[in-house]
Structure 1
């Protein structure tokens, strides 16, 4: 991911570095990610594992469409950072950050804003996003489109009543933020009281130390030490360290579970329960290679609310991996933790409200559940 941050998602099919990445990942003995006939392909590389993740453009429609925020119409064009700018690729620089050294903040281009087009853009997005931003925006997009609510909503079929503080738009918008903070607390318990998992940045330091003869780490798997990506990193940067997208490297709390992924799981679960997941999003779009404009999506895949909600969760969680601060399983397992938080909150709401209501949703593993 670090070596391919600047490759446009729309160029994955023909880019040689993406083809090499897919080929190496296919050779790994325990790589748990989507494959076609047992192989990772440019069409599946770096994607999540749900059906929605594997359909259509890499980036979810909820990260591309304009957001109607009250009387504001907000295009999702983001500030960007310089192409090819990676950090902590020298051992002394890396060690200084491990010891708490301060670094200048990354410089962002606030003038030439772009749609999310590659891994570096996505990494920059999750460097500065408000934690539930993508899902609040998704809720606003769906409300603006008039997407139908789930059939269990008590007001969906009423001719003379509408939901508002309960089972209406205001209820949903506050619920997305409510589950976000609960998910974050669940994550922090896992991080500090259960796992205390090493960050990829720190593990990259061990790989570099071992291959450079600074220190012996005999437990590092040979598939890591012999990795083509590790060798290419040495050629490009002069070290075996994992190139970071952020000058300060990883956050100072443990890797598992990913806070972004847990919040994504909780928020997306609420949104999938609230709306009709099967509703088709019309006129899908994709950014051009430079991210300066949106173009119509020309593929054959039908993009649904449920599929694109799963995809936005994967996009945000994967973006943290693309930045170099999380592992893939920090994403794939943490969204399920967030899912449990979201379902628990939905159960509470069904119990305490006066209306007779229910929610149906598709879990990340494909099972249908009813609350």
Structure 2
């Protein structure tokens, strides 16, 4: 929400008292640019922190190598990888427009993409990496579940317990899968897993806590947390955001009595056009890269963007596979453009005069570039499909040129996952049995002939939702998650994010897709959620839906999504600081971030910048932490008390009173 003061704060150097022209305007314009320059120069810089996997593993088993020549074991020659990484730092002229070179491009307004970095990714052999691949196995097994049934957790699934398992004969449900996941040290709140450097870092503690309901270790992992992501707002109401389902009340060029454009139709007015919220239905139970040769082919030659098999029917989003397809096929800012139009159709107007669609595209582009710099120039982490393959080949002794140290790390992961103990109820080995059974069924349905390495009966490859598997870019960060979070941040800032959701949408209840996915019906879940939800909650849910779609597709690790959402927020905040400096008078924006911290972005706050220098340029204030800590992506303090929250809330009210 924007607060535009009628009078300038004292000592504000960029607040004119009359219309400007000629030399006067040029002078003030220079002040605006100088303020932006000060902002860029004083923004805290955090050094890049890649993990040690690339340095310590000569055959790059968990580094990004897709598109390079691979041997029969899916490994590259060390010299080929060194040549590849050298080109990423000094791109050849012919690479100037390639994705690998995106991170080299400079921003001529606002902070450079190098101002935003991610913490080190989980390393080979860590408990966090074990938990991440196990989570993705379960998400792949649940890919075709109706989201309502998924979260109920009681619907029997087409898997069974091994003959010697104590639960043999009992139905396998989503809730049972979560129970298996809770046995992993990273997810079990009573366990004490090590971090990359011994004790868990603050970032590792945060990522671990986001796996527990309300970040409460006593509640632990739940189906809602597994399927919905990290934001408290994403866990209110039905799984799918209303902004992925609703239409506008009527097309603006149609008479009011015409009922064709009821919000339940899913038709959104966009200028003179109508956009259908329904998607092309992907073929259920159709997965890819579930046999060794298909996986190896995908690593050696990057498949261009290929649409998964479809049924030919249009449907509303009601399954994780639908979310995966949406995130695969659309630009991340598109759903937010439609969200803005839905809000405008309800009579809401942005609180600053901004070209909103252009602003959304701009922040999405900036976040995309920031994520791609992390992908190629910093971390180069392999996609989940590679980790699953390494576990599979290690189990079968097909390790090729991998060093004994690396093999030992993958062996430790298999032990933690219970690979040789599917009947041991203290470990989640049954998950590997289920994923292997799923791969066998998929290969039989696809008529796959066994060739190359025979990994049947212990096939731990991660079933992919797309024909080419993961995209031809590294995994960390996730550009979709970063761009989605950036767009959500903009809409929370320019609309009143604190507005009750019923008021913002003009509806009496949540809607969700009927089980046949052909129509929208009233949600029958707890109605308190709807009454207590805010617009900001629903925008966070929209960002999480797109982010989790990448997880359900099997193409992104959970840490990619968690850290990239927070990266996108920081990029958007920087763009908003840049944007509000273009106004003649002082402007302040207020919003809540994905961790529910309240933020004020003020074009003329004054005070002391991160280097201790008096600054009269843009200022950012955050609940419970310093501006510098927030810009550096510091996780929220889990012990932040209500007194701090009340103090900053009072500060925001003080700003409101100054209008």
- In the superposition, the TM-score normalised over structure 1's length comes to 0.90
* Aligned-pair CA distance for 1:319: 0.3
DSSP-derived class of the 2:587 partner: coil
* Aligned-pair CA distance for 1:105: 4.9
Distance 1:102 1:61, change over 3 A: closer
Q: Which of 373, 391, 394 pairs up with 1:207?
A: 391
1:320 equivalent to 2:550? Answer yes
Work out the CA distance in 2 between the residues paired with 1:40 and 1:352: 45
Work out the CA distance in 2 between the residues paired with 1:147 and 1:323: 35
Work out the CA distance in 1 between the residues paired with 2:538 and 2:375: 28
Aligned pairs (5 A) from 1:143-292: 143-147=344-348, 149=350, 153=351, 167-168=352-353, 171-215=355-399, 217-220=407-410, 221=413, 222-224=415-417, 226=419, 227-238=429-440, 239-282=459-502, 283=507, 284-292=510-518
Equivalent pair of 2:286/2:309 in contact (CA under 8 Å) = no
Equivalent pair of 2:478/2:556 in contact (CA under 8 Å) = yes
* Aligned-pair CA distance for 1:101: 6.5
Q: Which residue of 2 aligns with 1:29?
A: 185
Q: Which residue of 1 aligns with 2:520?
A: 294
1:63 equivalent to 2:280? Answer no
Pick which of 182-191 and 15-24 moved more: 15-24
Work out the CA distance in 1 between the residues paired with 2:388 and 2:482: 24
1:309 equivalent to 2:536? Answer no
Higher RCO (C-alpha 8 Å, min separation 6): 1
Q: Which residue of 2 aligns with 1:130?
A: 331
CA-atom RMSD, angstroms? 1.8
Work out the CA distance in 1 between the residues paired with 2:318 and 2:288: 21
* Aligned-pair CA distance for 1:290: 2.1
Equivalent pair of 1:34/1:48 in contact (CA under 8 Å) = no
1:19 equivalent to 2:175? Answer yes
Count of residues in correspondence between the two structures: 353
Work out the CA distance in 1 between the residues paired with 2:282 and 2:589: 41
Work out the CA distance in 1 between the residues paired with 2:489 and 2:370: 15
Work out the CA distance in 1 between the residues paired with 2:181 and 2:586: 49
Equivalent pair of 1:266/1:342 in contact (CA under 8 Å) = yes
Equivalent pair of 1:243/1:324 in contact (CA under 8 Å) = yes
Work out the CA distance in 2 between the residues paired with 1:65 and 1:125: 15
* Aligned-pair CA distance for 1:40: 2.0
DSSP-derived class of the 1:219 partner: helix
- In the superposition, the TM-score normalised over structure 2's length comes to 0.52
Deviations along 1:128-170, whole A, 9 cap, x unmatched? 1123111111111111122364xxx4xxxxxxxxxxxxx23x5
Equivalent pair of 1:148/1:279 in contact (CA under 8 Å) = no
Pick which of 74-83 and 314-323 moved more: 74-83
Work out the CA distance in 1 between the residues paired with 2:566 and 2:222: 25
Unaligned runs of 5+ in 1: 154-166
Distance 1:102 1:276, change over 3 A: closer
Deviations along 1:97-137, whole A, 9 cap, x unmatched? 11116587532234x10011111111111121123111111
